[in-house]
Structure formats: C-alpha cells, structure tokens
C-alpha cells in the first residue's frame, strides 16, 4: 500500500491537542479520580468493623439480655428484653469485668448464672450473673500441629444494633445452636 492509496484520515497527521482541550481532559480525569476516592472512602466508613457474635458464647449462655449497663457497686444491667432463658427481674447484677465503655449504652449481654459465695455476695433479690465466657477455634497448638480445640477469649458484650440483633436471632433460631451445644461446621 502506498501513501497515495491510504485512507484520507491516515494521510494527514492528527491535529495537535490545544492547551484548553488538555486542561479539560485533565479536569475530567481529576473529577473521576476524586469521585472514585469518595466512593471508596464511603465504603470504608459504612462497612468497616462489623459486629460478629461469638457462637459458642451464645450457645453457652444461660440468659441473653438486651439492656443498659449501670456501673456501681454492684454493677448491673437494666433489662429491656430477654432473648434467651428465663428472667423475671428488671435488672441483674454482673460480677467480673464488664467491657462496656459508656454507661447507659444499650448492649446485648450473654450471661451465665453464678452461685453467690464469699467472693460473690448476694445483693438483695437481684439475680447474680457473670458474662459468659466465649471460645474461638484454635487451629494451631503452638508446636506446628493443627488442633481442633477451642481457645478461650475474654468475655464479650455487643452493641444492640440491628445487625447484632439479626445475628442473634439467626443464631438462636438456627439448628446449629441449642441450649448447651454447638456444632461447628
């Protein structure tokens, strides 16, 4: 193919891009990049740090309540709703460390009943509980061998968000979690 037989658009070099066109192209690219960064930042804020309930803790709990943490001596949870178990008192005494940062915050609390004794005296007719201990799968024994044992983790309470309530309802209605047993997948 000779130069004379080439199509007309290939016979003439492209016109140079003017500075005005270049500025518009760069502005368009900048707008698209900033929009993309904004979308990613929104996703990070909206979807970061989801609440995940500990299945073994939920299964082992005698009572699961939703209520407000009331610090003091003794510390108590003012019960708004009972999710699992039987509880007729409007509040429960909670012994041990309670990982609640804001007094009055509405929380989901898996509780195990404890028998009062010298180190855990009975205070009036309010039931005495402690936060149920949870477990996580421990896939390593430390010596390089894989084990199917569970490792204890510190007791957890959960914010009473819609996502946490939905998870709790699902776990309680699931066939995998019964009153004291848990089947791991």
Please check the confidence at residue 34 and state whether its pLDDT lies above 90.
Answer: yes
Dihedral of CA 123/69/131/100: which sign?
A: negative
Q: Per the structure block, which two tokens stand in for 174?
A: 């699931």
d(CA 13, CA 23): 22
Please check the confidence at residue 98 and state whether its pLDDT lies above 70.
Answer: no
State pTM to two decimals: 0.60
Which of 26-35, 55-64, 74-83, 89-98 has maximum average pLDDT? 26-35
């Amino acid at each position: 193919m000779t130069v004379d037989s080439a199509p007309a658009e290939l016979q003439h070099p492209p016109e140079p891009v003017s500075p005005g066109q270049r500025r518009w192209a760069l502005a368009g690219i900048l707008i698209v990049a900033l929009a993309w960064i904004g979308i990613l930042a929104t996703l990070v804020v909206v979807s970061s740090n989801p609440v995940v309930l500990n299945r073994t803790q939920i299964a082992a709990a005698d009572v699961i309540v939703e209520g407000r943490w009331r610090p003091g001596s003794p510390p108590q949870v003012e019960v708004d709703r009972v999710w699992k178990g039987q509880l007729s008192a409007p509040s429960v005494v909670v012994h041990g460390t309670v990982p609640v940062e804001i007094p009055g915050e509405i929380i989901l609390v898996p509780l195990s009943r404890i028998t009062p004794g010298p180190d855990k005296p009975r205070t009036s007719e309010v039931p005495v509980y402690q936060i149920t201990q949870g477990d996580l799968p421990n896939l390593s024994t430390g010596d390089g061998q894989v084990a199917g044992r569970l490792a204890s983790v510190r007791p957890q309470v959960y914010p009473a968000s819609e996502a946490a309530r939905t998870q709790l309802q699902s776990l309680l209605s699931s066939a995998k979690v019964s009153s004291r047993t848990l089947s791991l997948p």
